[in-house]
């Protein structure tokens, strides 16, 4: 059992030695994976679709970035601050989203994302506006490991954070809390009859997912020493949902797999064909959506089931 869990993480760690020249990409994958996990918690488990998760990602990115810019470059406390700010934002916006109901709630998340984007654009004195946040200086991790050009520190740091938070998420979804979320997803009207306080549970899930997204954003700002409006963009929310659907909704390893597959495909296609890559990416996504429900994980599961039958 433990061995099965160890394999993907050992693989991810081995990437450090296998692809020493690809570490910036691997860091980007780890950050995307954490973002996908955050979306999975709220969309996959709680069944609450959102188009504004980037708001929390961006809030985390700007929090960590501005802290470091103002002279506090300690990475771990920066991440904690990013998580706290994003969670607070989640706590404030959760009642709005939950109050509105399904489709209208979706619009609320979209609206909140756009609002925050425009606010960051306007507050150029704090965020740097469209030029992005300049002068982010990170301190070495534990005072020892500098963020280097090769991205070694950045990758190990991102991977470690992803690992810890992923395991925490596993505990969370396996707990009674996690099962109550699935009950709400299954039938939100019946859940109260089972003694599940729907609104409180959804709020909690929303806030936790926001904190996760905030940490992912903080990681991006810290490992690239930069934060920009793009962190808040709708595109990022959409990409996160794509990763999730690609990998398989409602399973944490699906979120990881989706993030890996999406980012690698994105990177390889755009490198091989800088002008038309979005076309090929689109074809791949449509094909996958038609080929199987449950994303890559669903496909793999079906393939294994077929092999077993033989």
Per CB under 8 A, residues contacting other proteins are: 4-5, 7-8, 11-12, 14-15, 18, 21-25, 28, 121, 124, 129-132, 134, 149-151, 220, 224-226, 228-231, 233, 235, 251, 253-254, 256-257, 260-261, 264, 267-272, 274-275, 277-278, 296-297, 300-301, 303-305
Using CB atoms within 10 A of its CB, is residue 9 exposed (0-12), middle (13-18) or buried (19+)?
Answer: middle
Least distance CB 4 / other proteins (angstroms): 5
Which one, 231 or 241, has the nearer CB to other proteins?
231
Widest pairwise Cα distance in the chain: 65
Cβ 93 to other proteins, closest distance in Å?
Answer: 22
Taking Cα atoms as reference points, which of 229, 227, 171, 176 lies closest to residue 201? 176
Q: Which is nearer to other proteins, 130 or 168 (CB)?
A: 130
Nearer residue to other proteins within complex by CB, 59 or 204: 59
Least CB distance from residue 289 to other proteins, whole Å?
Answer: 17
- Residue 299 beta carbon to other proteins: minimum distance, rounded to whole angstroms: 8
CB of 270 to other proteins, least distance (A): 5
Within a 13 Å sphere around the CA of 97, how many CA atoms are in the beta-carbon half? 28
Burial status of residue 35 (CB atoms within 10 A of its CB: 0-12, 13-18, 19 or more): buried
Helices 234-247, 295-309: axis angle to 10 degrees equals 10
Cα separation values, 122 from 109, 117, 273, Å: 20, 9, 35
Q: How far is the CB of 6 from other proteins (least distance, A)?
A: 9
Number of H helices, E strands in the chain: 13, 0
Nearer to other proteins, 192 or 282 (CB): 282
Nearest to other proteins of 98, 300 (CB atom): 300
Using CA atoms in the order 117, 122, 126, 127, what is the torsion angle rounded to 10 degrees?
40
Nearer to other proteins, 22 or 203 (CB): 22
Q: Find the shortest distance in angstroms from Cβ 64 to other proteins.
A: 13
- The 10 Å Cβ neighbour count of residue 201 is 18
| Residue 46 near residue 24, CB atoms below 8 Å | no
Closer Cβ to other proteins, 80 or 269, answer by number: 269
Give dist(CA 8, CA 257) in Å, integer: 10
The pair of three-digit structure tokens given for residue 79, joined into one six-digit string:
């991440």
Q: How far is the CB of 298 from other proteins (least distance, A)?
A: 9
**Closer to other proteins at the Cβ: 26 or 48?**
26
Backbone CA torsion sign across 216, 287, 293, 297 = negative
């Amino acid at each position: 059992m433990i061995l099965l869990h160890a394999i993907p993480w050992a693989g991810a760690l081995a990437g450090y030695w296998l692809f020493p020249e690809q570490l910036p990409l691997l860091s980007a994958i780890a950050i995307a994976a954490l973002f996908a996990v955050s979306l999975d918690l709220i969309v996959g488990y709680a069944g609450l679709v959102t188009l504004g998760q980037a708001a929390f990602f961006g809030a985390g990115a700007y929090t960590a970035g501005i802290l470091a810019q103002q002279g506090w470059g300690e990475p771990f406390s920066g991440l904690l601050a990013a998580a706290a700010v994003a969670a607070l934002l989640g706590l404030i916006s959760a009642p709005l989203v939950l109050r509105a109901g399904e489709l209208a709630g979706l619009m609320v998340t979209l609206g909140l994302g756009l609002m925050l984007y425009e606010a960051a654009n306007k507050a150029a004195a704090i965020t740097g506006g469209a030029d992005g946040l300049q002068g982010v200086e990170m301190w070495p991790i534990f005072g020892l490991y500098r963020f280097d050009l090769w991205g070694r520190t950045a990758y190990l740091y991102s991977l470690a954070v992803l690992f810890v938070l992923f395991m925490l998420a596993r505990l969370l979804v396996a707990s009674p809390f996690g099962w109550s979320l699935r009950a709400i997803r299954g039938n939100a009207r019946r859940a109260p009859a089972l003694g599940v306080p729907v609104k409180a549970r959804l709020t909690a899930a929303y806030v936790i997912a926001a904190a996760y997204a905030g940490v992912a954003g903080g990681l991006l700002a810290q490992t690239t020493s930069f934060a920009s409006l793009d962190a808040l963009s709708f595109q990022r929310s959409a990409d996160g949902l794509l990763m999730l659907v690609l990998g398989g909704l409602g399973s944490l390893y699906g979120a990881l797999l989706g993030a890996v597959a999406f980012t690698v495909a994105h990177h390889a296609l755009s490198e091989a064909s800088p002008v038309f890559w979005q076309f090929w990416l689109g074809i791949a996504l449509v094909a996958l959506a038609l080929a199987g429900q449950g994303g890559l994980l669903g496909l793999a599961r079906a393939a294994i089931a077929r092999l077993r039958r033989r």
